[in-house]
DNA sequence: CGATCAATTGAGACAAATCAACACCAGTGG
DNA sequence: CCACTGGTGTTGATTTGTCTCAATTGATCG
């Protein structure tokens, strides 16, 4: 499981630094409605920020990885929940300086707007392709992309069903743009074409 | 035209306060790619924030009205453009305090996330209904909603075509939830039912 | 090995996009 | 005063893409 491997990878190299708490896969860090105020930073692993719609659907508004700061809210309560996707280490930030807060907020805003653009575009294939490219940018390797989250999470992030996620992946595969090395690893075979598709 | 009436309404009451510039309907305040840095505040009228997608579509990421602050960017350049919808007065903000910036940013983030939730939901009728309710909250009257923007703008905001906007309005009308008093004025006939639809 | 959950694939239904025609309104000029 | 025009909005017919429902395969784990 990725939980183990991810955690072990860090733990074996030495204990996680003090102030970092570990959250197992699929566990909640804070819930919708919890008191807000604290800021968090991802140390390792992947976090998803979720929000339930009134009709019962779930919208994931972001996936966060090492270095990302999260937890700000406009009100006194969290209107999103934060959950560990694959086992993650979280650091509590001591009250950050205003400048740091602004930077983190701007980044958060930029990410949200980026997702907004993605959802505004209606093609499932393009959404999926862009998602892969986005992940790729945040990961070291230019060809291999690791999917820490499962299809269901991707679906709720991209605003579609997990069946459509599956079909979109198949489509990109059939086009020769990617290869599915395993269920959690995608290989980008033709990046220029993929970028052209997603612009 | 709304330009005249809006402007006149303010102008007759006295000249716009110093530091407020007027932008006629459908004119640009800043463009995608312009140098960022200044913050603006809407004095009167309506502003739309737009972003072009590579495939030529336009996504409106927000409509701003009196009091709203806009213009922040993560980088040195604007990656959105700001345009006057119906003739609007804009005030340049002198460098705001960090606390004010954070507040404005949080509000901006909250709004963007709200729109994100809307786009994640796929029903055109619900999107349209929510849009009307959102507008209503920002306007004085609880029943009458003024549409400063035209159908095309609404479509690009809600991620659908203007034909679908038209059909969604018709649907809400047929359901007895709203009435179309004129092309720019909607009357909410059954707010509870409308809220129930949109949750 | 069977049990369970995740992922894929297929067939059909349905909502929105697309294409096209038409109505409406304001402004213009004969 | 009335045709003409261009922009905007509505409505209709058809196509297309995604959702839904259902069956099947694949992976993981006790």
Nearest by CB to B116, which of A116, A121, A199? A116
Do residue A89 and residue A140 come from a single domain?
no
In which residue are the tokens 């896969």 written? A25
Task: Strand B178-182: give its sheet, edge to edge.
Answer: B144-146, B185-188, B178-182
The answer to whether residue B131 is domain-embedded is: yes
Q: What is the DSSP string of A5-30?
A: HHHHHHHHTSPPPTTEEEE-TT-EEE
Q: Give the number of domains in chain A.
A: 2
The answer to whether residue A13 is domain-embedded is: no
pLDDT digits (tens, 9 = 90+) for A55-74: 788 999 999 999 999 999 88
pLDDT digits (tens, 9 = 90+) for A107-160: 999 999 999 999 988 799 999 999 999 999 999 888 999 999 999 999 999 999
With a threshold of 0.85, does the pTM exceed it? yes
The answer to whether residue A41 is domain-embedded is: yes
What pLDDT is attached to residue A67?
93
Do residue B87 and residue B26 come from a single domain?
yes
Residues 159-198 of A with CB under 7 A from strand D: 159-161, 163-164, 183
Cβ neighbours, 10 Å, residue A57? 14
pLDDT(B153) > 70: yes
Q: Is the dihedral of CA B101, B102, B104, B109 positive or negative?
A: positive
Q: State which residues form the domain around A188.
A: 121-198
Q: Are residues A110 and B74, on separate chains, in Cβ contact within 8 Å?
A: yes
* Residue B17 structure tokens: 């306060």
Average pLDDT, chain B: 88
Residue A106 neighbours by CB under 8 Å, 6+ apart = B72, B73, B74, B105
Do residue A90 and residue A128 come from a single domain?
no
Read off the pLDDT band of B180 (50, 70, 90). very high
Strand C atom within 7 Å of A117 CB: no
- In angstroms, the CA of B154 and the C1' of D21 are apart by 34
The residues on A that touch B, with CB distances below 8 Å, are 51, 53-55, 57, 59, 61, 72-74, 79-80, 98-99, 101-102, 105-110, 112-113, 115-117, 119-122, 126, 159, 198-199
Give which of B36, B110, B117, B126 to mutate to test A binding, by max A Cβ within 10 Å: B117
- Nearest nt (C1') to A168 (CA)? D18
B46 DSSP assignment: -
Q: Is the dihedral of CA B106, A133, A165, A69 positive or negative?
A: negative
Do residue A128 and residue A92 come from a single domain?
no
Q: Which of A65, A127, A111 is nearest to B112 (CA)?
A: A111
CATH code for position B40 = 2.60.120.10
Distance from CA of A28 to the nearest CA of B (A): 20
CB B58 within 8 A of CB B5: no
The span from the CA of A170 to the CA of A172, in Å, is 5
Do residue A90 and residue A132 come from a single domain?
no
Do residue A75 and residue A127 come from a single domain?
no
Residue B182 neighbours by CB under 8 Å, 6+ apart = none
Do residue A93 and residue A25 come from a single domain?
yes
């Amino acid at each position: 499981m990725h939980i183990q491997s991810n955690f072990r990878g860090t733990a074996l190299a030495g204990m996680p630094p003090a102030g970092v708490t570990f959250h197992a896969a699929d566990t909640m860090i804070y819930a919708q409605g919890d008191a807000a105020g604290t800021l968090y930073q991802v140390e390792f692993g992947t976090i998803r920020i979720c929000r339930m719609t009134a009709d019962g659907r779930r919208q994931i508004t972001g996936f966060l990885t090492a270095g990302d700061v999260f937890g700000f809210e406009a009100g006194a309560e969290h209107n999103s929940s934060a959950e560990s996707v694959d086992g993650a280490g979280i650091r509590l930030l001591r009250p950050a300086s205003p400048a740091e807060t602004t930077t983190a907020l701007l980044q958060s805003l930029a990410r949200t707007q980026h997702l907004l653009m993605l959802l505004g575009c209606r093609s499932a294939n393009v959404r999926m392709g862009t998602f892969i490219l986005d992940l790729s940018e945040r990961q070291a390797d230019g060809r291999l992309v690791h999917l820490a989250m499962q299809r269901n999470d991707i679906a709720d992030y991209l605003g579609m069903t997990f069946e459509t996620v599956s079909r979109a992946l198949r489509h990109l595969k059939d086009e020769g743009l990617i290869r599915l090395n395993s269920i959690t690893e995608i290989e980008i075979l033709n990046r220029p074409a993929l970028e052209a598709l997603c612009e």
